[in-house]
Amino acid sequence: MKNKILYIFFLLATFFSSNSQNTPTNTTAQEEIFVHINSSLLFSGEYLYYKLYCLNAQTHQKTKLSNIVYVDFVDSNGKTVFNHKIVLEDGLGNSDFFVPSTIASGSYKLVAYTQWMQNNPVDKFFETSLKIINPYIAEINNTQEIESIAFPKSASQQDKNLKLPEDLNIQIILDKKQLSIREKINIIIQNNMGPLGNGDYSMSVRKLDDIEGFPRKTATQAMSKKEGVNIIFMGNSNQKAETDGYLLKGEVIKRISKLPAQSVDVAVSIPGENFLFTVVTTNAAGEFSFEIDPNFQGEQAIIQILEDKKEDYEINLQDEKYLDYSKLDFPKFSIDKSFKDKIVERSIYNQIENGYYNLKPDTIEEKQSALSFVRYEKGITYELDDYTRFNTMKEVLTEIVKLAWTTTENNKRVVKVLEREMSAPTKFLPLLFVDGVFMEDHEEFLNINALQVKDIKIIRKGYYFGENEYQGVVVVNTKKGNFIPSEFSTSLIQKTLFLPQPSKRYFSQTYNKGAAEVNKRIPDYRLQLMWNPMINLTMRETHAILYSSDIPGIYEIVVEGYTNHGVPISLRETFEVIDSINKE
């Protein structure tokens, strides 16, 4: 009883102290990452699932300082096999990676970090080791000494890192400890701590592996002293926090002298129906950065300099990769020949499961695209098929479009938009967009084939971007919707964006009465019975219903997460699936 009182006192102390520290005020160890993975041993043809917790490094509460986390999967040569960009919601994110048959067997690392964390020692990065077994590629990815691999220990012995506090008052309760194949089991996360236990958690239910994986890191371990991480940071250590989106960074230099170009306006547009457009000005070092809303779905960005003598400048985008993994320490790994039959069996299971993937798909959650700055602006839209078609944009603006026209200024053709009817024209030019691409060159805009234009929208409102004032907006959408500038240069470049991973809703197998007839003819060789990365504990009991597969064995339930007050929780329970249960 005394221990329980002390534990509750610790929770309350954490709560009150953390409330006074919730807002970061300096760059010293403000964030850390914990990643819950479904397994540290994976075969080709299987999925690595992971849940991200971005935390205040002092209070271990969720932090909203960073909105983006980067996840790298690294082989023993320090080469990045894949890297993901994950959008956080209230400090949380999740994704997955399908292990392809092109990855060799061996030791790998999963590393997670934010841009902001690169300002601090890398021991706040998360890194963990994984084993990959690929029966289709004989070679092992590294040449380390042979280490014996044994069959799994008993449920109480395997993965000794998964230890629970003695008086933990959140627990896993099962309605049964043994069940037959394709049978339902009810998993209850019971919170006996009241509001102190409320928080965010993730749950994995998976068959214990015949081949032992590397020890998995738990949320409770995040409270202990971290080991050094041998990652070398290669870039500028003065990184901005990606608070509302991901950063697109670069510099502008003078093309001949190669010196930084200060106070130069740089524009970025991401094409699409809902396009992005913004302008920033370079600092004294010639640097610029755009923070891009991750809900903009375009894959290409057009970056250009907005200066009269733009040919005197050069845009250099900053590489998004700054980390050197060549010094990472990879555990020894080899495969004993005695496991050949087990490896073949599991590989067959994976092939069959992947063959029926279309019947058991995960669902990508569609998010509404961010809207362009003119989406709700009042304007006049002209559907050109409703009018006599003309070959040139000049004819369209003259014969069809009201309040916009072409004229000549400084021996160049330009487009103008009238602010109000019967008012005198201003000296300012309008913003011109074609399929969301900003066009500063009015001559190129007027050279567009008008027969390929679907519609034109005219907005009379004035705007300021950077140091420039604009009168009105002309938005053109082509029939194909894929316009790009006719040519690029050092001052007008195109960039393929590194987009965030989409959110998913993961498949959950059922064998209830309505689904049984349809599903009973489909093989079920799932090793991963459930992956639920989004458990928000707000009640005394939270239920998770799942069905066993056709594979008997011991299955492990792992729950990881943090209470709202920053207390780490790591839970573990097992149950057994057998071919049949003799009922008396």
pLDDT > 90? residue 546 = yes
What is d(CA 320, CA 309) in angstroms, rounded to the nearest whole number? Answer: 29
Supply the pLDDT for residue 46. 97
Mean pLDDT score across all residues of the chain: 86
554 confidence band (pLDDT: 50, 70, 90): very high
226 confidence band (pLDDT: 50, 70, 90): low
Q: Do 205 and 339 share a domain, yes or no? A: yes
Q: Is residue 500 part of a domain?
A: no
Per the listing, tokens 């280490």 go with 147
Quick one: what percent of the chain has pLDDT higher than 90?
Answer: 68
What CATH number has the domain bearing residue 470?
2.170.130.10
Q: Do 214 and 67 share a domain, yes or no? A: yes
What average pLDDT does the segment 487-498 reach? 94
Quick one: what percent of the chain has pLDDT higher than 70?
Answer: 85
Long-range own/partner contacts, residues 488-492 (CB < 8 A, 24 or more apart): 489/311, 490/255, 490/311, 490/313, 490/314, 490/315, 491/304, 491/305, 491/307, 491/310, 491/311, 491/313, 491/314, 491/315, 492/302, 492/303, 492/304, 492/305, 492/310
pLDDT > 80? residue 8 = no
pLDDT > 80? residue 7 = no
pLDDT > 80? residue 118 = yes
Q: Is residue 9 part of a domain?
A: yes
pLDDT > 80? residue 22 = no
Supply the pLDDT for residue 467. 87
Q: Do 124 and 209 share a domain, yes or no? A: yes
Q: Output the six-digit token pair for 304.
A: 């250009």
Q: Residue 470, class by beta-carbon neighbours within 10 Å (0-12 exposed, 13-18 middle, 19+ buried)? A: middle
What is d(CA 361, CA 364) in angstroms, rounded to the nearest whole number? Answer: 9
Strands 178-180 and 568-578 come out as parallel
Supply the pLDDT for residue 61. 95
Residue type for 578, please? I
Q: Which residue has the higher pLDDT, 421 or 492?
A: 492
What is d(CA 370, CA 357) in angstroms, rounded to the nearest whole number? Answer: 31
Q: Is residue 495 part of a domain?
A: no
Supply the pLDDT for residue 229. 66
Q: Do 278 and 427 share a domain, yes or no? A: no
Looking from the CA of 463 toward its CB, the CA atoms found within 13 Å total 18
What average pLDDT does the segment 154-166 reach? 41
Q: Is residue 498 part of a domain?
A: no
**How distant, in Å, are the alpha carbons of 321, 432, 436 from that of 404?**
45, 12, 19
- Domain holding 273, by residue range, is 246-317
pLDDT > 60? residue 147 = no
Supply the pLDDT for residue 240. 86
- DSSP codes of every residue in 276-337: EEEEEE--TTSEEEEEE-TT---SEEEEEE-STTGGGEEEEEPPS--EE-TTPPPPP----G
Q: Do 60 and 127 share a domain, yes or no? A: yes
- DSSP codes of every residue in 81-136: EEEEEEE-BTTEEEEEEE--TTSPBEEEEEEEE-TGGGGS-GGGSEEEEEEEE-TT
Supply the pLDDT for residue 423. 73
Q: Do 408 and 533 share a domain, yes or no? A: no
Q: Do 213 and 328 share a domain, yes or no? A: yes
Element (H, E) at 532: strand 528-537
Supply the pLDDT for residue 166. 47
Supply the pLDDT for residue 234. 59
Among residues 317, 337, 353, which one ends one of the domains? 317
Supply the pLDDT for residue 283. 96
Is the CB of residue 131 less than 8 Å from the CB of residue 334? no
How many CB atoms within 10 Å of residue 30? 23
pLDDT > 70? residue 225 = no
SS3 of residue 225 by DSSP? coil
Q: Is residue 347 part of a domain?
A: yes
Positive or negative torsion for Cα 504, 506, 512, 515: positive
**How distant, in Å, are the alpha carbons of 7, 156, 223, 313, 569 from that of 167?**
8, 18, 17, 65, 12
Q: Do 197 and 283 share a domain, yes or no? A: no
Which stretch, 209-223, 313-327, 349-363, 525-539, has highest mean pLDDT?
525-539
Q: Do 194 and 332 share a domain, yes or no? A: yes
Q: Is residue 490 part of a domain?
A: no
What average pLDDT does the segment 135-149 reach? 52
The beta strands (E) that lie in 365-452 are given as 380-383, 404-409, 412-417, 431-434, 437-438
Q: Do 431 and 386 share a domain, yes or no? A: yes
What is d(CA 35, CA 17) in angstroms, rounded to the nearest whole number? Answer: 25
Q: Do 340 and 397 share a domain, yes or no? A: no
Structure pTM? 0.86
What average pLDDT does the segment 239-256 reach? 93
pLDDT in tens, 93-117: 999 999 999 999 999 999 999 999 8
* Residue 207 bridge partners (DSSP): 555
Q: Output the six-digit token pair for 176.
A: 């049964």
Q: Is residue 375 part of a domain?
A: no
Residue type for 77, please? N
pLDDT in tens, 387-435: 999 999 999 999 999 889 999 999 999 999 998 776 778 899 999 999 9
What is d(CA 551, CA 323) in angstroms, rounded to the nearest whole number? Answer: 41
227 confidence band (pLDDT: 50, 70, 90): low
Supply the pLDDT for residue 169. 84
Is the CB of residue 251 less than 8 Å from the CB of residue 264? no
Q: Which residue has the higher pLDDT, 92 or 193?
A: 92
Least confident interval from 117-126, 412-421, 435-444: 117-126
Q: Do 288 and 334 share a domain, yes or no? A: no
Supply the pLDDT for residue 151. 32
pLDDT > 50? residue 142 = no
556 confidence band (pLDDT: 50, 70, 90): very high
Domain count for the chain, please give it. 3
Least confident interval from 47-56, 133-142, 365-374: 133-142
pLDDT in tens, 503-544: 999 999 998 876 656 677 899 999 999 999 999 999 999 999
Supply the pLDDT for residue 24. 42
Q: Is residue 38 part of a domain?
A: yes
Supply the pLDDT for residue 392. 97
Least confident interval from 84-88, 426-430, 559-563: 426-430
